[in-house]
């Protein structure tokens, strides 16, 4: 089965032109088929502040009211997505930027929660796997942003870590899928402020213990939850680590390797 890398980029890397350019260069050099998923939370938060639109983050997830949805659509599906696509084209990588609404790629529904109103946050219902396979097999590198839709004209903001996991799960029957979550930290850390405390391997029991002891910071929880969900669905390998170490993450010589063993 042919190898496919699904790599999610996020955190401060997107806000740093130099680091993002270096990442794009490393990503473009991957010879295997690949898909890039990106977020861009910090830039969206900065723009929201300029526009005086209050932001609320709960357990690493953004509460998306109507004004915030406009901002994240502009930032994620517009500025960030097209800058990354243009950077990849400059590296000779044939790239195409897509939101979940494009080609009906990702259909979602407005999140229902018994006590929290997440606004226009979307939970995924379906992936257009046939479209993904067709484009990937044409040699096109997809750059997917986290704006999805409900099929009835409503855009939704979906967690980019979840999108990466769902794309990986959808493609496990067709490719040997390797999922990488890359951001500004060196991996899953025992001390969020100390990159030297990276955990090389993380299993479910240890993760549960760390959560109970409140040693996992909120922004990391969705990544790890999605990593284990990906493994449960047949993804070959999941790694979390520093974007600058992308080549080593792919080689499994850096970051945190998530395992069910």
Rounded average pLDDT over 179-193: 90
pLDDT tens figures, 27-47: 999 999 999 999 886 888 888
**Each residue of 122-134: pLDDT tens digit?**
999 999 999 999 9
**Amino acid 116: pLDDT:** 87
Name the β-bridge partners of 201. Answer: 257
Q: What is the mean pLDDT of residues 192-220?
A: 88
The confidence score (pLDDT) of residue 73 equals: 97
- Does 55 or 171 have the greater pLDDT score? 171
Residue 108, helix vs strand vs coil: strand
Quote the CA–CA distance of 125 and 32 in Å, as a whole number.
Answer: 28
In this prediction, residue 120 carries a pLDDT of 96
Q: What's the pLDDT at 41? A: 66
Name which of 39, 17, 43 is nearest 164 in CA terms: 39
Let me know if 199 is exposed, middle or buried by CB neighbors in 10 A (0-12, 13-18, 19+).
buried
As a whole number, the mean pLDDT across the chain is: 93
Domain 3-258 has CATH 3.60.15.10: no
User: At residue 137, does pLDDT exceed 90?
Assistant: yes
User: Is residue 219 over pLDDT 80?
Assistant: no
What does the pLDDT average to over 138-159? 97
Better pLDDT: 77 or 60: 77
Ranges of each domain in the chain? 3-258
In the prediction, which pLDDT does 260 show?
87
Model pLDDT, residue 124: 97
Judged against a pLDDT cut of 80, whether residue 62 lies above it is answered with: no
pLDDT tops 80 at residue 52: yes
Confidence of residue 223 (pLDDT cuts 50, 70, 90): confident
Measure the CA dihedral 8/12/14/15, to 10°. Answer: 170
Contacts of 101 (CB under 8 A, 6+ apart): 147, 148, 149, 155
* Res 131: pLDDT: 98
Which of 179, 171, 161 lies closest to 259, judged by CA?
179
Residue 124 φ/ψ, nearest 5 degrees = -75, 135
91-110 confidence digits (pLDDT tens): 999 999 999 999 999 999 99
The whole-number pLDDT of residue 54 equals 86
């Amino acid at each position: 089965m042919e190898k496919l890398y699904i790599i999610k980029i996020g955190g401060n890397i997107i806000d740093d032109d130099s680091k993002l350019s270096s990442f794009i260069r490393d990503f473009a050099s991957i010879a295997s088929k690949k898909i890039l998923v990106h977020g861009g939370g910090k830039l969206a938060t900065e723009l929201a502040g300029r526009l005086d639109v209050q932001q609320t983050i709960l357990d690493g997830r953004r509460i998306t009211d109507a004004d915030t949805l406009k901002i994240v659509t502009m930032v994620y599906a517009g500025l960030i997505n097209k800058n990354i696509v243009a950077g990849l084209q400059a590296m000779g990588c044939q790239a195409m930027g897509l939101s979940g609404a494009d080609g009906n790629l990702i259909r979602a529904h407005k999140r229902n929660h018994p006590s929290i109103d997440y606004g226009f946050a979307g939970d995924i219902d379906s992936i257009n796997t046939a479209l993904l396979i067709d484009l990937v097999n044409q040699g096109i590198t997809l750059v997917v942003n986290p704006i999805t839709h409900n099929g009835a004209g409503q855009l939704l903001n979906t967690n980019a870590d979840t999108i990466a996991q769902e794309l990986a799960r959808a493609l496990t029957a067709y490719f040997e899928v390797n999922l990488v979550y890359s951001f500004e930290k060196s991996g899953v850390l025992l001390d969020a402020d100390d990159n030297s405390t990276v955990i090389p391997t993380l299993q479910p029991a240890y993760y549960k213990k760390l959560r109970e002891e409140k040693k996992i910071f909120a922004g990391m929880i969705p990544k790890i939850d999605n990593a284990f969900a990906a493994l449960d669905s047949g993804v070959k390998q999941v790694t979390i680590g520093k974007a600058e170490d992308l080549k080593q993450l792919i080689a499994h010589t850096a970051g945190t390797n998530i395992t069910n063993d």
